[in-house]
Structure 1
Amino acid sequence: MLKRLFLVRDAWREQFGTKAPVDLVADDSLVGSLPSDDHARLLQLRRNPRREGFADVRFVPYADPVFLRLARERGRYVISRDRFTDLRRKEPWVEQQSERILSWTTGADRRVRLHPSGIVPVPPHRVSQAIEFKDLKHLQRLDPEHPGHARILRSHWRCTALGCDTAMRWPDGLLSWPAVSRTGAAVCTCGALLENLGPRGVTRSFVVSDATAADLPGGLSAGEYLRFPVSVGDAVQLGRGTLRHGINLGAEELNPPVGVKRVSRVHLLLSMEEQPGSGGPQAYAVDLGSGNGTVVVRSSGATRRIEPGERVAFGEMDRLVLGDAVTLRLSGQRYFSAEQALPRELGDGGGGRTLLS
């Protein structure tokens, strides 16, 4: 495995010259994944990186965000076969300057050659899905692609162990994700097996951003200022100011864009509905007679103003623009703990007269 590393190093030197510095940033887990024959060479590399042709060698818990940040700050190239989909929100330069991300191939002559990895833009919901996958897998130790873990993610759980602090704090069910035993069972932090309370309802997340902010690569908006959940069967009003059953897009604690004043006090009705046989829920929007209207922007680029009272379905590749001021889109997030499924509490600020365009 280390042999490949040195072959890539040699290819870099051949292409950019022997004086071009090479830094190595690797996950701590690399040590345990190497064959025993490579351990001595790795120890030598860590002790004296310059002798092995590297300017710096560092091991960190999660290498990707570290070397992408260093590459951005220092204007460096990155040599990796990763697509970094989960990090494109934090490091938009990956798409803006994709030629700086290099991969490698080995020819018939066994020589390693470096070339642009061919990174292409991905839609925002794909970025959200990649972030969620990494967070669940590395922070919660839950792999959505593992059948047993997927069952855990789709269910509600409760601890019934006597004397357990978690059981006493959350008698009606855990708000956070459960732990997973070595056998793949859902367990409490106290170690007791959890009781399955049945399937978890389907929830989706919506993203609100400043419609006037310039889009980043992949359709990510630089003006994002709110994400909120909506569960299947729920209908939520969107507007500005006090809403008994809705989301205040103009709440002062969100630091909303100035243009939010063009959003009506009661602007839009948003709902999620189950569609049998469709493979997932469908989002619907109804304009509630807003002063400045709502426009649906389809993935094809086609735009159309929604008529007052009209019910329109939209998907992950579509966007809604409210009053030419804020943009609403679906996130790609799929799994919500009970705590994440709770809507955020927002203040009553942001009311007043609607600014008509």
Structure 2
Amino acid sequence: MPELVLVTGGSGYIAGWCVVELLRRGYDVRTTVRAPGKERAVTDAVSTVVDPAGRLSFAVADLTADEGWDAALKGVDLVLHVASPLGAASDDPEALIAPARDGALRVLRAATEAGVRRVVLTSAANAASPSSYASEGVTDETLWTDPDDPTLIPYRRSKTLAERAAWDFMSGYDGPTELTTVLPGAVFGPVLTTANLGSVGIIARMVSGKMPGVPRIGLEVVDVRDLVDAHIRAMTAPGAAGQRFLATGEFVWMEDIARTLRDGLGEHGRTVSTRRLPDFAVRLAARFRDPSLREITPALGRRNRHSTEKARRVLGWEPRPAREAVLDCARSLIEHGAV
């Protein structure tokens, strides 16, 4: 009998690709949705790549509530806990932090009670980064972001606290279930649907001409297909149990991404602005015109990078170049009519 893998948050960008690749590799998949009625959209998205007939099932469970998680984990062999709250900063940081932290604990409690063999939790490279935004150099999984740093944006703090809570839970657990965490960078690549663009929304805005310029921000670009491959390798590799794995990609400036899009998309690239926005202009806009920019201003000019040597060595993981991920992402958005 094929092993059954639970993927949390099946309507999400990364989770959808997890479902696709698991089905491709012969697993049975169960995925969670937050409310009844969302199953059709997930099935339709997955069906654009692979036939899920008879091998994809659903469970209703929300990160903010206990109900549904025991049923979701029943009979499950392995878990990819990908779901995490996203969105703009709130006046109350706990609005983002609590669902991420408490949701991870709900999944782990249900998984350990069900005797699941291994849980792979999606964290973020921002949970293994220096507190100082001025830092340069290369860091690895041994570093933990300081969650008490007052300059941290809520999303970064939520990912750090959620992963910390997961490891703390496992340190007091004595049973067969294992935990592994994967820490991605900026996730681009093709989309299955335009219903939930997630991190690729920035590529859509650039291609559609809605960004008059690009801030001086560097991203470690990882293709969603390579990130999913890292998750599945972390789920199955014997040496991955109890480990953190950075799954970042090539470091590129947003200006480089803009030039890649402009040069590589033909007619569709003409609307992409490659003009670099001065740091002071971004800060002024964040202060007076667009409060949503406040979360990116601390990262202006930041050059810190992460090492993926551990994932390459232990998992045999090899990500594709950032240029390929960016262009495949843009072409997919164009094909889906998102730009």
If the length of structure 2 is used for normalisation, what is the TM-score? 0.28
> Which protein has the larger Cα radius of gyration, Structure 1 or Structure 2?
1
If the length of structure 1 is used for normalisation, what is the TM-score? 0.27
Structure with bigger helix share is 2
